[in-house]
Chains A and B, each alone.
Chain A
Amino acid sequence: MRIALFSDIHANLPALEAFFKDVESRDTDAIYCLGDLVGYNIWPNEVVDEIRKRGIPTIAGNYDFGIGRGSDDCGCAYKTDDEKANGKVSISFTNEIMKDEQRAYLRTLPAHIRLEFQLSDKPLSVLLVHGSPRRINEYLFEDRDEKSMLRIMEQAGADVMLFGHTHKPYHRILESVQTDGSDQFRHAINIGSVGKPKDGDPRGGYVILHINQDASVTDKLSISAEFVRFAYDVEKAAKAVEDCILPNAYAESLRIAK
């Protein structure tokens, strides 16, 4: 089974359209969206409509959670005063242009989706969250302490966990010993961002999760993540930012992927 997972589109319609074109050429079995459809660009309604039109199972991101409730807090961890001031402009702009029907969609998005497989004698639980299982806006970076990462996954009962929110893709395999002495491999997979990558590569990114027919937590290679990058019209998305009230810094971050 090959499952496409994408997230953090952030109102970037040119990137989303390029994503659909790319994923449709790859013959996947299912598609899920891990949230943050809106914020930072001018097409939040269009992005919601494109995802709804396809009936794609989608969970809420922190930005969707805020906009869905008409709140002026997106739950984002801005560090500097400039970032905070820019963030305020973005959320109030998004709240202003969001239409009722699209906002109502964001309001009732689920928080988590879990896929329970039974492909060997042991069950396999695949958990989809936006930030972390504990909090919609927790950042799970690649350098997080291994013990902490394992604890988060154990507490959530997740053998495979897919998430976004940081816009920096990675796949980490965490090894632990089970009560019966056998090795267990957990997979923590950050799927990157379609519309606002921050890993230095301005192309959009998403993941195709490969699950073998006999996949199991004890077989390390029976689950793998393919990181896909696709080119899109970055300049169009950056110009859209510059031509509206949104801070120009957001255009620059699309161009340099920071």
Chain B
Amino acid sequence: MRIALLSDIHANLPAFEAVLEDLEKQRPDAVYCLGDLVGYNVWPNQVIGLIRSRGIATIAGNHDLKVAKILPSQDTCSTEKSSDYAYKLVGNKEREYLLTLPRHLKIEFQLNEDSLNMLLVHGSPRSINEYLLEELPEDYMIEMLREFKADILCFGHSHKPYHRIINSGKNGEDHFHHLINTGSVGKPKDGDARACYVILTIDPSASTKNPDGVQVEFIRVKYDVEKAARGIELSLLPDAFADNLRKAY
């Protein structure tokens, strides 16, 4: 089974369209989105429209929940630049969609005698806002993986993709976990301006004893960065966001 994991689109329609086109070639068996559809760019409603029309299973990100507090602007004459503008653009139907998204998805495989639990979250299982960076201490991660019974933990939020394998086994018994940061479709921060997503392959031999049964591939997709950056500069969003896209930081 090949599963595509997308995250942190951040209203970047050119990047998302390029990824959807790439998915047509990759032909994964299932597609999941780990949240942050909105914020930082001008196409939130178009991105949500594409996700909904494809029925892509999606969880909420921290930016998606911001629309509960930042309402559409009454003052349509404002020319003041503000990051809030990204949320004010979100339509009523789209707000309702974002505010009813699930927080986590759990997918339980029973491929062999044991079970293999895959948990999809936006930030961390503990908090939608927590950054699970690559260099976090192993003990800290093992405690979290055990608490939430996650053998494969998939998340986004930091916009810096990585795959880390941790063995939490004791007394010579292996128990391998996979930590997968999917990177960001619409706002990469790892110095590579191309859109990023993950194809996860679950082999019939996958188990907590066999880490090679789960393979992770990071796909980078070229898109029209300039178009996305100009979208920001021509709007009431801060110009710095455009520079972020061009240089991927």
Residues of A within 8 A of B (CB): 1, 4, 27-32, 52-58, 104-105, 107-119, 126, 211-213, 215
Contact = CB atoms under 8 A, between A and B. Distances in A.
Contacts of B110: 110-111
A187 to B, nearest CB: 16
Contact of B103 (A54, A108, A109, A116): A116
B175 interface: no
Given A29-B55, A110-B109, A117 B102 contact: yes
B227 interface: no
Contacts of B224: none
Nearest to A118: B103
Contacts of A105: 1, 29
B7 to A, nearest CB: 15
Contact of B108 (A107, A111, A117): A111
B111 A30 contact: no
A57 B31 CA distance: 7
B133 interface: no
Contact of B54 (A55, A104, A107): A55
Contacts of A117: 100, 102-103
B96 A116 contact: no
A109 B1 contact: yes
Interface of B: 1, 4, 23, 27-32, 52, 54-58, 96-97, 99-111, 115, 118, 202-204, 206
A4 B103 CA distance: 18
Given A30-B56, A30-B57, A111-B108, A1 B101 contact: yes
B90 to A, nearest CB: 14
A176 B4 CA distance: 39
Nearest to A29: B52
16 contacts: A4-B55, A55-B29, A57-B32, A108-B111, A108-B202, A108-B203, A108-B204, A108-B206, A110-B108, A110-B109, A112-B107, A115-B104, A116-B104, A126-B102, A211-B100, A213-B99
B102 A115 contact: yes
Contacts of A54: 54-55
B106 A108 contact: no
A34 B4 CA distance: 19
A55 B27 CA distance: 8
Given A55-B56, A105-B1, A107-B204, A113 B106 contact: yes
Nearest to B203: A108
B55 A1 contact: no
Given A28-B55, A114-B106, A213 B29 contact: no
Given A1-B97, A108-B204, A213-B99, A113 B105 contact: yes
B202 A55 contact: no
Given A1-B101, A108-B109, A112-B108, 13 more contacts: A1-B97, A30-B57, A55-B4, A57-B32, A104-B204, A110-B108, A111-B108, A111-B109, A112-B107, A114-B108, A116-B103, A116-B105, A213-B100
A116 to B, nearest CB: 4
Contact of A116 (B32, B57, B102): B102
Contacts of A104: 204
Contacts of B31: 55
A119 B34 CA distance: 17
Nearest to A129: B108
A244 to B, nearest CB: 28
A58 B99 CA distance: 24
Given A113-B106, A213-B100, A57 B57 contact: yes
A22 to B, nearest CB: 13
Given A55-B31, A57-B30, A113-B106, A119 B55 contact: no
Nearest to B204: A107
Nearest to A60: B110
A29 B97 contact: yes
Nearest to A133: B108
Contacts of A55: 4, 23, 28-31, 54, 56
A100 to B, nearest CB: 12
Given A55-B29, A56-B30, A116-B102, A31 B55 contact: yes
Contacts of A58: 30
Nearest to A112: B108
Contacts of B4: 55
